[in-house]
A and B are shown apart, each in its own frame.
Chain A
Amino acid sequence: MSFHIFKYSFKSLLKDRMSLFWLLCFPLILATFFNLAFSNLMSNESFEKVKIAISTDHVVPEGLEEAMKESNLFDISFITEAEAKALLSEKEITGYIKNTHELELVIFDSGLNQSIAKVFLDSYLQVSTTIYNIIDGNPQIIQMGFLENLSLNDGFTEEIPASSSMNMVVVYFFALLAMTCLFSAVAGSYSISIIQANQSTLAARINVAPTPKLKAFLSMISATICFQFMSAIIAITYITQILKIDFGDKILHIGLLCLVGCFTGTMFGTLFGLVVKLKAEIKDMLVSNIIMIMCFLSGMMVLQIKYIVQEKAPIIAYINPANLITDGLYALYYYDTFNRYFLNLALLGGLGLVFCTITILVLRRQKYASI
């Protein structure tokens, strides 16, 4: 009997075009948009040489060109000031340097590349000042070979590699997966409306049948979870294989987290459907909006939100299922250890169990003499 109910719940989910769209197609469409829109987002972070022109109308200060070449920061060209102006207004170059009576940097607007150019020129001026000051205060120092032993380009830093997996954009996709899993709440809320006799005529019919309510409920729920897990797997496959987003190689762990996520999502939906007594349409809208807010808090629209919530209100981060899923996936992607992943997994599962227990406790033994 259980399998019978399971089979037909599953079939009715597959046949319902609305659920098929929201639970399966919508995440895929969103993923495509994310991919199109964010594909260039990270590329501006990698370092490119600053394009800068030196005006040939004036005398170029001694040593400047060598210093600029040595620094390996600039792509230098020598052109007249008029040409430089034209290039600058088309934003072909970051700025140009002219040396009328003192060094001057002409730019179009502020920005990082302009800052680099300015800081470099500052440093050129400053080093000249320093050397001038030192020689001025202690002229004998030149005889001691001071100028020959000048070392100005010592490196004082050493990089500790943080992690090569630093692509921030994946968090959008993680949050999207969280949304896919949690959308099962809509189906969960629907399954309550066909098991709770006072909510629909179909439910009244099902309750008349001699199948125990728990059995019917659990079969329907497992159909929902299965269906949602399937669409999560399709979404993962689509994102990693077709859109070529690198999720790391711990694919089994990702799958497990999504399964638990689907469970928690469904249970959230059933609890919501049970507690809130409104029209079906309004319920659906409310559930999906709550899920969207959860996803928003876990960074689906604005990435930094996730970090801000985690820093400012860690409790919200720990009870928000969307954030638990996103954070678990993030931990898998970014950290080498599994502690944080398992913490998230346990919290998510625990949350699901709590929802489940409350649902079953409320649901059991409700009888109606008349409806």
Chain B
Amino acid sequence: MQVFKAFTKIVPKKFLGVFMIYTIIFVVLAIFFSRSGLTQMEDAFELSKVKVSVINEDNTVLANGLESYISHIAKPVEIEIDEESIKDALFFRHTEFVIFIPKGFQESFTSSNYQRINTMSVPNSTNSEYAKSLIDRYLNTAKLYIVAYPEISLEEIHEKVLRDISTEVNVSFLDKVANNSMSYLNGYFNFLSYILIAMLISMVGRIMLIFNNKEIKMRNYCAPINIKSYNLQLIFGNLSIALIIWLIFVVLAFVLYKNTFTQTGSFLFIINSFILTLLCLSISFLVATFATKNSIDPIGNCLSLGLSFLGGTFVPQALLSNTLQTIGTFNPIFWYIKVNDAIGNLTSLTQSTLEPIIYGFLVQLAFVVALLSISLVVIKQKRYSQQ
């Protein structure tokens, strides 16, 4: 086991730094994603909440009633009231709809030329249309009551309006219960694809470069050890690194998202990420056959970023353009993310739901075999050409 021993000596000395940097970046990002991610759903149906900021200058009964209604049904966001803050908040979608209730709004409400409520929003967005309809609905109902009962106070009208507005239509789901608690794990494992591929190329690739160094190789080949066992030990070494990394990240997922890990399908994430590990390993193998010491970083970066961007690691696959989705068929990472998303949407384990997932597994494994055989051919070619 001399080769494997040499392997275990090189790795901690040279690659602990790389490993630490990637892990730290990944953990920070993963935590950030889970914080800013979707809130867990409690009801079966939840209204999408538009982020609305109300700036109430009127402070009358009607204006306050509107404000409390909006804050109840939308997601109120506090912002500072100067133009720059408002504009910044809108641009970064911190808030999506800003409502200014002008002074004297209530007074002029029933007259024919009433004061309008000023709004600021992201142009042409669905959310702002929705927020507008909320305002109009409240005010229209209030106006009806004011016209019908001119004698009663506005507080009573607010109550009447609220009571009417709380009537709701029944909503039912076609055949599943909305379930979103898997989305954290889904996001975590999607993001893992970038980290794993970047990390394995830079680690495995470099280790292979050391062993592929011409002089070291010549020295090793004249040692009394047969080439088969030499190569097997190398493969064993690379596999064990990959497996250790994979284990660490799976355990990390377990630590970060304890409660979601007991759900159906979470073990499928683990299987999928294992296949991904093999996939990344075979990619790094292939890269190591032609990369040189100087070119491995550029190649690794381009490959990892390229495959992840085009595969939908950073941007949800549904949002990728059609051409990209077609090209994605040739991208192993695309398949990985596709399977992950399918697992994330899984509600029950039946044959029909599992079929696409298993198909995805097989496609990825086919990629592994293909990439490995290409690299073996290249290695063999190189050996002959050196002689």
Contact = CB atoms under 8 A, between A and B. Distances in A.
Interface stretch (A101-109, A239-247, A256-264, A348-356): A101-109
A129 B121 contact: no
A44 B134 CA distance: 21
Contacts of A363: none
A128 to B, nearest CB: 9
Interface in B1-40: 17, 21, 29, 32-33, 36
A277 B148 CA distance: 82
Contacts of A102: 170
B108 to A, nearest CB: 11
A105 B45 CA distance: 11
Interface string B321-352: 10010000000000000000000000000000
Interface string A116-131: 1011111111110111
Contact of A45 (B125, B174, B301): B125
B88 A307 contact: yes
Nearest to B133: A119
Interface in B122-141: 122-127, 129-130, 132-137, 139-141
A174 to B, nearest CB: 12
Interface residues of A, number: 93
A110 B46 contact: yes
Contact of A106 (B91, B164, B173, B302): B173
Contacts of A126: 137, 141, 164-165, 167
Contacts of A303: 92
B305 A33 contact: yes
Interface in B259-306: 294, 298, 301-302, 305-306
A289 B309 contact: no
Interface of B: 17, 21, 29, 32-33, 36, 41, 45-48, 84, 87-94, 99-100, 114, 116-127, 129-130, 132-137, 139-141, 143-145, 147-149, 160, 164-165, 167-176, 178, 294, 298, 301-302, 305-306, 309-310, 312, 314-315, 319-321, 324
11 contacts: A26-B302, A33-B306, A37-B312, A39-B321, A45-B125, A104-B171, A130-B144, A137-B149, A150-B144, A154-B136, A158-B116
Given A18-B298, A114-B171, 17 more contacts: A26-B298, A36-B321, A40-B319, A40-B320, A46-B126, A47-B124, A47-B129, A73-B129, A106-B172, A107-B45, A110-B178, A120-B133, A160-B120, A162-B120, A162-B121, A282-B17, A310-B88
